[in-house]
Amino acid sequence: MTRTKAKTPRKAKKKKAPRTKAEQRAETLEQILDAAEFLFSKHGLHGVTLRDVALKVGVHTSLMHYYFEDKFALFKTVFVRRAPVTSERRMKALDQYEKNAKGKPTVAGALHAFLDTDYDLYMSGGEGWKNYGAFGSQLSNTPEGAAMFDEHFDPVVLRLIGILRKAMPDVPEENIFWGYHFITGSFMHSLSRSGRLDRLSNGLCKSGDLDAVKARMAEFMAAGFSSLRKR
């Protein structure tokens, strides 16, 4: 006579509590911001409408006006969502670098702290951060974008300038600002991941390979600053 194994009673699955209206609104808002960030990164501020974003999310345009007065309000919210994260990370990295340098900072060391910290964020933060980088590169040459950059990034940029002054006390101050001007242009272009470098090099280099950019940019720019000293 065979024995049948007694069936162990299955534990009843706990039902998930229904999401509150506040949670639903928060989720919808994040979807809107993600969609807007993606579209702005591809088409710029003036190439996107609230209707475009609504279609991307799959909601009615009227809902967009519930959250945002106009497109500019949406743009500001998208920009401000991530700006403090990158700014604070770089500020901490520069503070720590200057502390470790013990009064003897170098140009390369300061640039590594400033640039590498941000590249690490864009590489490890997923597609959203890559879209934000491309969004920033689109905005960098617009009056609206320049105003937002001034408001949110000037403190960390001036922190870098201050360390570079200490590293190059013999270099005229205007040359340090020109050096930063060249750095930020190259930095923003690299975040655009335009694909042009891929075509020019027949695939030898990839514009989206931020790890390769990070490995080269700080030292390359430091050599440029050295040429200012020779002048």
Residue 12 lies in a domain: no
Contact status, residue 138 vs residue 192, Cβ threshold 8 Å? yes
Helix (H, G, I), strand (E, B) or coil at 14: coil
Note whether residue 118 is domain-resident.
yes
Single pTM value for the model: 0.85
Domain that holds residue 110: 82-230
Amino acid present at 20: T
Residue 61 lies in a domain: no
Residue 60 lies in a domain: no
Phi, psi of 13 (to 5 degrees): -70, 135
| Residues in the chain, total | 231
Residue 219 CA to residue 175 CA, distance in Å, equals 18
For the chain, the 3-state helix, strand and coil shares in percent, each to the nearest 5, are 75, 0, 25
Q: Do residues 218 and 183 touch, judged by C-beta distance below 8 A? A: no
Blockwise average pLDDT, block size 10, the chain, 231 residues: 54 66 85 96 93 95 92 95 96 98 97 97 95 93 89 96 96 95 95 94 95 97 87 62
Residue 26 lies in a domain: no
For 221, the token pair is 């720019």
Residue 74 lies in a domain: no
pLDDT at residue 17, rounded to an integer: 65
Radius of gyration of the chain measured on its C-alpha atoms: 24
CATH of the domain at 191: 1.10.357.10
For residue 138, CA distances in Å to 113, 199, 224 come to 24, 20, 25
Residue 4 lies in a domain: no
Q: Classify residue 110: in a domain, yes or no.
A: yes
Domain count, the chain: 1
* pLDDT attached to residue 97: 98
